[in-house]
C-alpha cells in the first residue's frame, strides 16, 4: 500500500462507544476521525446515529461521517 504521508491506526477498545472514540482520538492526538453515519438503531431523525452525533460534537478534531 502506498504511503502518502498519512499515519492511520486501528484500535479495539471496550466501553461507551462515543466516549471511547473521543478518548482514543485525544490520546493519539488525532487530526481526523472517520465514522459511519448510523448504527443499529437507525440514527437520530434518520440521519445521524447517536454515537456519530456525540463524536462529532464532543471532540477537537475533524470528523468525516460516511453514510
Q: Could you read off the pLDDT of 52-62 as tens digits, one per residue? A: 999 999 988 99
**How many whole angstroms separate alpha carbon 63 and alpha carbon 32?**
6
**How many whole angstroms separate alpha carbon 32 and alpha carbon 46?**
24
**How many whole angstroms separate alpha carbon 25 and alpha carbon 61?**
8
All structural domains of the chain: 17-66 (3.40.50.620)
Which residues fall within 8 angstroms of residue 11, CB to CB, at 6 or more apart?
24
| pTM for this predicted structure | 0.75
Phi-psi region of 53 (alpha: psi -120 to 50; beta: other; left: phi over 0): alpha
Q: Could you read off the pLDDT of 24-35 as tens digits, one per residue? A: 999 989 889 999
Is residue 5 within 8 Å of 31, Cβ to Cβ? no
Read off the pLDDT of each residue in 35-57 and give the average, rounded to a whole number.
77
Average pLDDT, the chain: 83
Amino acid at each position: 500500500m502506498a504511503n502518502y504521508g498519512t499515519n492511520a491506526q486501528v484500535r479495539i477498545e471496550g466501553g461507551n462507544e462515543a466516549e471511547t472514540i473521543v478518548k482514543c482520538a485525544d490520546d493519539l492526538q488525532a487530526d481526523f476521525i472517520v465514522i459511519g453515519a448510523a448504527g443499529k438503531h437507525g440514527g437520530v431523525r434518520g440521519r445521524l446515529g447517536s454515537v456519530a452525533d456525540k463524536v462529532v460534537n464532543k471532540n477537537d478534531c475533524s470528523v468525516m461521517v460516511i453514510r
